[in-house]
Amino acid sequence: MELGQTPKEIRQAIRQARYTGGTGGLAPSYVQANLVILPQAQAYDFLVFCQRNPKPCPLIEVTDPGNPEPAGVARGADLRTDVPRYRIYREGQLEAEVTDIVTEWREDFVAFLLGCSFTFEQALLQAGVPLRHLEENRIVPMWRTSLACRPAGIFRGPMVVSMRPVPAPLIPRAVTVTARYPMAHGAPVHIGTPAQIGIADVRKPDWGEAVTILPGEEPVFWACGVTPQAVALEARPPLVITHAPGHMFITDLPDHALAVL
Amino acid sequence: MELGQTPKEIRQAIRQARYTGGTGGLAPSYVQANLVILPQAQAYDFLVFCQRNPKPCPLIEVTDPGNPEPAGVARGADLRTDVPRYRIYREGQLEAEVTDIVTEWREDFVAFLLGCSFTFEQALLQAGVPLRHLEENRIVPMWRTSLACRPAGIFRGPMVVSMRPVPAPLIPRAVTVTARYPMAHGAPVHIGTPAQIGIADVRKPDWGEAVTILPGEEPVFWACGVTPQAVALEARPPLVITHAPGHMFITDLPDHALAVL
């Protein structure tokens, strides 16, 4: 494939529809982001929701109304074309999955980019913490929890978490490594007994696929970027556009730009 | 004085106008916050401005329109009465300094609380980094810089920084200690040569008072909470209410609640 190497080259290939696949593994060590697009009428509540729930909703960019360029994280990029696949929801119902949203774009649209777990997973791997879902080639398992997000306007709902089993001796390292990235969900929200956060069966995720938990490992739970998408859909605003799962926006920010230490 | 010890007791004394002085040194180890109140018409732009400029504008709370309770950081508190002194600005001009804003409060008001340097100064002292302005009993010196904030809607302007001289061998510690507190301005934005960030004379601050820089020390500059106030005033919205300098809102959050590691 002639995808190129830099985020800009890859976005160019995506823009020209030469690439419409998932972005996992592309431009490693560059920040990828979750996308939520809303009309400005709902944007204020969503901004406050993100401020109140920074672990599941780490906001790395908000565009000016009508302007599809996320200038703070990828100068010259166009959020109408530079994501491989979009999902369009009306009143909370999936209407279409498309490879660009040029015809759907409106002057009152605001795009939100949120940090994603790819960033901290890269950091975990570099720190020697294995990732079972990658070893088993599965989608990371995710659950709705009993942890309530703090509501804001029309947006409310439970926190969604992802789970990675971690060998007990590596848990402190897994915590400190991810804590360095508050803009990519940060430190775990829970370690151990799944029932304490309302997860009935750790073998039956609400999204993604179950992974093996070996003896001597504890399940470690991080706030998940599915939270803002689930919350945005449950509010049933007239229109929401998101990326399709796994088909993220690739920014020009190197991962270390999100690290606090 | 019978101010009491807990943030709640101190807020109660402030609410009853038994105390109207500065909050420096009160409820040590609890987070104090800068206050900016705006009508909702200007609140969206201000929220986006804070998202785009997190170092000078670390947002720790946004209230629901018309609701003066900052429920996320101080349940039961009332932002109309629980700050010792407020400043009311119309069209960017100071109109009054008052000890409560009960009569001014409107149903469309949104209050923003922003992290403040008291938090990281406490951490610096605990880490053995001396603070010259406290030793010399002066107000920390502050400057407008040539570092532009990223604008949002009506809000734009330069970053304001505060300066603390640090002995060269302690600079790495000063950086790592404050980096742990991204919600209280985080790591420094500049170390050394003041001219590089547009500061002509390190002995002549734009706000506060000059402090002695000893041989073997470097000036270290942190993003300052005066930035959002300056930016809010320069935009000349119909109405802005802020705390009076040094008269902060005392939250129930212990300092460590803002630490990432």
Beta-sheet strands, E only, within chain A? 30-39, 59-62, 86-90, 93-98, 109-115, 142-148, 158-167, 190-191, 217-223, 239-243, 249-254
- For residues A207-228, average pLDDT: 97
Helix B117-126 / helix B171-179 crossing angle, nearest 10 deg: 130
CB of A182 closer than 8 Å to CB of A58: yes
Q: Please identify every stretch of chain B with a pLDDT value under 70, giving residue numbers as ranges.
A: 1-2
| DSSP letters for B228-256 | HHHHHHHT--SEEEEEPTT-PEEEEEEGG
Tell me the two tokens of residue B175. 């950086």
Q: Judge: B186–A260 Cβ closer than 8 Å, yes or no.
A: yes
What pLDDT shows up at residue B3?
Answer: 72
A139 and A111 within one domain: no
Task: Label the pairing between strands B86-90 and A142-148.
Answer: unpaired
Residue A2 in any domain: the answer is no
Beta-sheet strands, E only, within A116-207? 142-148, 158-167, 190-191
pLDDT at A1 over 60: no
A54 interfacial to chain B (CB closer than 8 Å) = no
Q: Which of the four pLDDT bands, split at 50, 70 and 90, describes residue A4?
A: confident
Q: Which of the four pLDDT bands, split at 50, 70 and 90, describes residue A253?
A: very high
CB of A103 closer than 8 Å to CB of A256: no
CA distance A25 to A213: 24
Residue B2 in any domain: the answer is no
B232 and B112 within one domain: yes
Residue A223 in any domain: the answer is yes
CB of B49 closer than 8 Å to CB of B151: yes
Give chain A's mean pLDDT.
96
**Percentage of chain A modeled with pLDDT above 70:** 99
CA distance B210 to B141: 6
A81 and A143 within one domain: no
What pLDDT shows up at residue B5?
Answer: 87
Domain total for chain A?
Answer: 2
What pLDDT shows up at residue B1?
Answer: 52
| Number of cross-chain residue pairs from A and B with Cβ atoms under 8 Å apart | 50
Sort A69 into a burial class: Cβ within 10 Å, 0-12 / 13-18 / 19+.
Answer: middle
What pLDDT shows up at residue A2?
Answer: 60
B236 and B199 within one domain: no
Q: What is the pTM of this model?
A: 0.95
What pLDDT shows up at residue B94?
Answer: 96
Sort B22 into a burial class: Cβ within 10 Å, 0-12 / 13-18 / 19+.
Answer: middle
CA distance A21 to A14: 9
B103 and B64 within one domain: yes
Q: Which region, left, alpha or beta, applies to residue B109 given φ > 0 means left and ψ of -120 to 50 means alpha?
A: beta
CA distance B21 to B11: 12
Side-chain half-sphere exposure of B117, counting CA atoms within 13 A: 24
A81 and A29 within one domain: yes
Amino acid at A258: L
Q: Judge: A62–B72 Cβ closer than 8 Å, yes or no.
A: no
List phi, psi (to 5°) of B178: -80, -25
Domain, as residue range, for A165:
118-227
Number of Cβ within a 10 Å radius of residue B12: 18
ipTM of the predicted structure?
0.93
Residue A1 in any domain: the answer is no
- For residues A50-57, average pLDDT: 98
- For residues A67-85, average pLDDT: 98
pLDDT at A219 over 70: yes
CA distance B223 to B54: 9
| DSSP letters for B105-128 | --TTEEEEEEE-HHHHHHHHHHTT
Q: Read off the pLDDT of residues B81-108 as tens digits, 9 standing for 90 and up.
A: 999 999 999 999 999 999 999 999 999 9
Chain A environment of B153 (Cβ under 8 Å)? 64
Residue A198: CATH number of its domain: 3.30.2040.10
Residue B147 in any domain: the answer is yes
B162 and B39 within one domain: no
**Hey, of A53, A156, A260, which one would you mutate to test binding to chain B, going by the most B CBs within 10 A of its CB?**
A260
> A72, A87, A68: which is closest to A15 by C-alpha?
A68
Q: Read off the pLDDT of residues B146-191 as tens digits, 9 standing for 90 and up.
A: 999 999 999 999 999 999 999 999 999 999 999 999 999 999 999 9
A104 and A13 within one domain: yes
CA distance A16 to B13: 64
Chain A environment of B51 (Cβ under 8 Å)? 47, 51, 59, 62
A196 and A131 within one domain: yes
Number of Cβ within a 10 Å radius of residue B211: 23
- For residues A237-255, average pLDDT: 96
B253 and B187 within one domain: no
CA distance B168 to B211: 17
Beta-sheet strands, E only, within A68-199? 86-90, 93-98, 109-115, 142-148, 158-167, 190-191
Sort B175 into a burial class: Cβ within 10 Å, 0-12 / 13-18 / 19+.
Answer: middle
Residue A87: CATH number of its domain: 3.40.1640.10
Residue B58 in any domain: the answer is yes
Amino acid at B233: L
- For residues A109-121, average pLDDT: 96
Residue A172 in any domain: the answer is yes
Residue A209 in any domain: the answer is yes
What pLDDT shows up at residue B261?
Answer: 87
B60 and B80 within one domain: yes
Q: Read off the pLDDT of residues A35-50 as tens digits, 9 standing for 90 and up.
A: 999 999 999 999 999 9
Q: Judge: B62–A44 Cβ closer than 8 Å, yes or no.
A: no
User: Which CA distances in Å does B38 have to A43, A156, B149?
Assistant: 18, 24, 20
Beta-sheet strands, E only, within A9-157? 30-39, 59-62, 86-90, 93-98, 109-115, 142-148
User: Which CA distances in Å does B197 have to A45, B145, B187, B221?
Assistant: 36, 6, 16, 10
B18 and B109 within one domain: yes
CA B162 to the chain's CA centroid: 11
Q: Which of the four pLDDT bands, split at 50, 70 and 90, describes residue A240?
A: very high
pLDDT at A27 over 80: yes
Chain A environment of B72 (Cβ under 8 Å)? 52, 150
User: What SS3 state is found at B175?
Assistant: helix
Chain A environment of B260 (Cβ under 8 Å)? 179-180, 182, 186-187, 260-261
Smallest CA–CA separation between A162 and chain B, in Å? 20
Chain B environment of A72 (Cβ under 8 Å)? 52, 150
Burial A146-170 (b: 16+ CB within 10 A, else e): ebebebbebbebbbbbbbbbbeeeb
CA distance B98 to B109: 17
Q: Which region, left, alpha or beta, applies to residue B108 given φ > 0 means left and ψ of -120 to 50 means alpha?
A: alpha
A174 interfacial to chain B (CB closer than 8 Å) = no
